[in-house]
Structure 1
Amino acid sequence: MGDPAGISPEIAAKLVASRDIHAGAQLVLFGDHRIFTEGARVAGVTADVDVISHGESIPDDSIRPIFVDLRNLSLEQVTPATATLAGGLFATENFRQALLLADAGRADAVFFTPFNKKAMRLAYDGYDDEIRFVRDVLKTSGAASEFNVLGNLWNARVTSHIPLSQVASAISETAILRALTLADRCMRAAGFARPRIAVAGLNPHAGDGGNFGREEIDVIEPAVQQAIAQGLAAEGPFPSDTVFLRAKNGYFDAVLTMYHDQGQIAMKLMGFDRGVTLIGGFPFPICTPAHGTAYEIAGRGIANLGASREALSLAIRMGAEVRAKRAAEGKAA
């Protein structure tokens, strides 16, 4: 369960109540059952779960979703539509417990309802984004990235949560090749046989042959050529104002952009209510809807389930691949 002051509690309850969404998967929820029950009331749904206390063994044969009640937030501590320390502590602890369960091999994927970054920063010193938090919890420093997913179209990026003034200096052949390699690996795990990845330029008109900047000539194109030499189906750089039209029309499965909003704007315009954020690069997929906590409609029971449905479905699909891989490795051993 994510931020308690927005739409996260009702989304969690709606997902649990929609058994068709999680058919074939065993859901384990972390949070406070009082907050979950209130979310179900707001949503107007009946969300049946088997409640266990933190520290109890999680059963493998439950026919209903399992709710691990951390008892970490009362209704009186929630200030609707407001980012608070209490809300941040609630969300970070729920996320931590889910990550640890997956890291221990007891879960195949992690899904979370929307966080509020202000609340998360209040609760966790130095919180930049979910990737930083996951690395801290799992004690790892490997390559990881956020991906935006809209149906069969993916958006990867070279840089993410940094000031725009720092983007050009942060782009390198190594960084681009690493992003392409990670995108290829994550997309294959999601079912793409050989993902076709278009690479966006940084400058207007992809630099216009060097008239508007040389990053395309000196950095981006050499990185694309290295990726091709390694067997990746990469192509570019393309002008960023037209590359998503090519991808939308089916010529590519993904677009690698150079910075955060270069891809986010296009993806959210095409499908804000269906967009998914995937955190890739860790041993298991981590998924969430691409939208935020929607404080402006909190408590009204009208939150759209579309993006959360897509995010949980992707987590289940990719989690099945993780489970199969673990089983295969176990037989090999």
Structure 2
Amino acid sequence: MSRTSSLAGTAERAPAARRPFRWKRAEALLAPAFLYYFVLLVLPSAAFCVVSFYGRSDTGFFDGVFTLKNYVSVLTDGFYLGSLWLTFRISVETTLACLLLGYPAAYYLAKLSPAARKKLIILLLFPLLLSTVIRVYGWIALLGRRGIVNQVLLSSGATDYPIAFLYTEGTVLLGLVSILLPYMIINITNTLITIDPALREAAAAHGAGPFKIFLKVTLPLSGAGMVSGAVMVFTIAMSTYIISFLLGGPKVKLLGNLIFDSTSSFNWPLAAALSVVLVVATAAACGAMVRLLGSPANGMAR
């Protein structure tokens, strides 16, 4: 009996004895990834945070005088505040548009068989293999003054002169939605296909109709996908540059364009301050979004 107890005790202590080895092995596996992100993300981010507290220099990246004038300019100048507000507003509109357009598509994909869903998802992801610049130039070919849309309108007699579709907020919004919509659809689809069908069947057994089942079961349980997709779309839209540059032109100046302009004029401290404000504003907005809608881990039905 005592020998059996001794063996049982040894068996219970064995996993605990191997834990340090497993933890060290996990550290060894994670170390390259952490080092990669530390060198390429953490250090550059810390560097431009430091640079943002110095003034512009004509002979180097920045002078050696500590100052807050860059942040004072960004946070008090109406031009920069207007650009920040425009960036935030277009990003919110893009997120809402992707959510309204993406949810029905994701709902349809989730109801398909795995084989059919795989084929459609491949078609959905195919545009992501193309460069963003190429897709943006596709919109320019469609909406330019000599583009396909204007040619059709002129030839049909619907208008006597080309319509200026480009260089407007609406065109920038259209370009952002067309490029970011797949991210929203994929996130929502991945959540919908994990919902247990028994929950819908139980709701139907208690007399709930299709609309009520969707409203009370499917929609709340798909909250994780909606939040994840919204955060992804909003973050990318806030940091966009090339889409607003090509489709918005000088009339639609988002914060990313101002950062590029400051860098091009060698005003690195101002560009760094604008970058910090953009990162903080994006993180704060995403945090508020997750808090209001529910965390991706728990969804909206908690």
Q: TM-score, normalised by structure 1?
A: 0.26
Larger helix share, 1 or 2: 2
Larger strand share, 1 or 2: 1
Q: TM-score, normalised by structure 2?
A: 0.28
